[in-house]
Amino acid sequence: MRTFSQQSAALRPLALLIVLVVSAFLAACNPNSDLVAPQAQATEAADLNASAKIDFSNAAADSNVTLKSVASFPVGAAFNSKITASSAKASQLFAAQFNAKTVHAYMNTQPTPGKFNLAEVDYWVKAAEKQSLRLHGHSLVYHMAVPEWFTQFKGNTGGFENAVKNHIQTIVGRYKGKIKSWDVINEIFDTNSGTIRKTAFRQLYASDAAYLEFVKRCFQWAHEADPNALLFYNDFNLEVSTSKTEAVVALVNSFKKSGTPIDGIGTQMHVNVSTSDAGMRNAYQRLAATGLLVHVSELDIVVNPTNDPSMAFTKQVQDAQAAKYQTVAALYKQNVPARLQYGITLWSFSDADSWLVVDKKQRDMPNVFDSNYNKKIAFFGLLQGLK
């Protein structure tokens, strides 16, 4: 026999559907309403899975509302300057919608020892003089996007550390007071286990403990170069792997214990339409519990996780993506206290320049603007979640 709570649990989806339909009808009757579904439903909607039927067909009503105007924290994007430099439409769209920019400043900005190529970073520092943008640098130390002279360093560990220190301090010092925050080191943990990744940098050390002392020194070097810069640790898959989330939490707690300067954690959030809402909620809550700033640092939402070559980007698929964008933002607002909300940054600008499409050659459309820099339904989903 089913208990009362089982019966009411079974009826809950039906009740929620009725509430959503009635609310959508009332909203449609209200000429002042620019909400697709009323704010009161946001929490419940956020708890629905990506398969939720949220109706974004009225999205055009939101056409004059911008991401940065509805959000209570900065909304940013990460992409190469050639996009806005070569398209007036993209440039206007970026200026209208965003008030933050993550600037690519990888280790390959020093292709040979002592020779820096910082044109991309300079471009954005200059752009920020005209358009109000909070600049975030990514990533001072990262074992990918790195020249061989760093990964196959000729010399002892002391020499390697001098080179890394010089790299960090040259870049952070050059942009002192201009680039507000930095990802100091990116992705030191394995995808799922939370153990230390066996990167080229880790191989230089006899133990994880010795390597972690180097990691801490990277933060100290950055802090010395700009004591006011906010310093972040950045990693991925935290919404999927609780072991990895706990490893990051333990890392930053050990930083705090040893007095190592750290201000925030970046959770990349390269997610997909089926990523569990509970997993995202857990990651937000665990990261926020450290008391550090939490940055959704590289958001994109894949619709074709199996990379099926015949996948059709139907209206249903696009609605599911919009619902997930809404959920990512709504859960962030609900689970990270306002004082710790460093912002949400989108990774790549449009579907045309997504790293998944361009570099990984996947059949997908993970971003909120389409290939012609038009707003997708996903844009309105994000807008809804930010409100």
* Residue 326 in contact with ligand GLA, rule: CB under 6 A: no
- Is 187 in the active site? yes
The letter for the amino acid at 327 is: T
* Residue 298 in contact with ligand GLA, rule: CB under 6 A: yes
Instruction: Write down the least CB distance from residue 186 to ligand GLA, Å.
Output: 5
Instruction: Write down the least CB distance from residue 270 to ligand GLA, Å.
Output: 6
Element (H, E) at 27: helix 4-29
Phi/psi for 45 (5° steps) reads: -60, -40
Spatial CB neighbours of 75, under 8 Å, sequence gap ≥ 6: 67, 68, 97, 98, 99, 100, 343, 344, 345, 346, 386
Instruction: Write down the least CB distance from residue 355 to ligand GLA, Å.
Output: 3
Residue 319 or 351 with smaller CB distance to ligand GLA: 351
> What does the DSSP assignment read for 253-292?
HHHHHHT----EEEE--EEETT--HHHHHHHHHHHHTTTS
- Is 298 in the active site? yes
* Residue 364 in contact with ligand GLA, rule: CB under 6 A: no
* Residue 355 in contact with ligand GLA, rule: CB under 6 A: yes
* Residue 268 in contact with ligand GLA, rule: CB under 6 A: yes
Residue 62 or 300 with smaller CB distance to ligand GLA: 300
Residue 134 or 138 with smaller CB distance to ligand GLA: 138
Which of 84, 109, 110, 186 is the binder for ligand GLA (CB under 6 A)?
186
Buried b (16+ CB within 10 A) or exposed e, 285-296: ebbbebebbbbb
DSSP 83: H
Q: Which of residues 129-158 bind ligand GLA (CB under 6 A)?
A: 138-139, 144
Instruction: Write down the least CB distance from residue 31 to ligand GLA, Å.
Output: 43
DSSP 241: -
Q: Which of residues 204-263 bind ligand GLA (CB under 6 A)?
A: 236
Q: What residues does 232 pair with on adjacent strands?
A: 183, 264
Residue 280 or 323 with smaller CB distance to ligand GLA: 280
Please return the burial class of 149, using the count of CB atoms within 10 Å of its CB with bins 0-12, 13-18 and 19+.
middle
Question: Annotated catalytic sites, by residue?
Answer: 187, 298
**Which residues are at the interface with ligand GLA (CB under 6 A)?**
138-139, 144, 186, 236, 268, 270, 298, 355
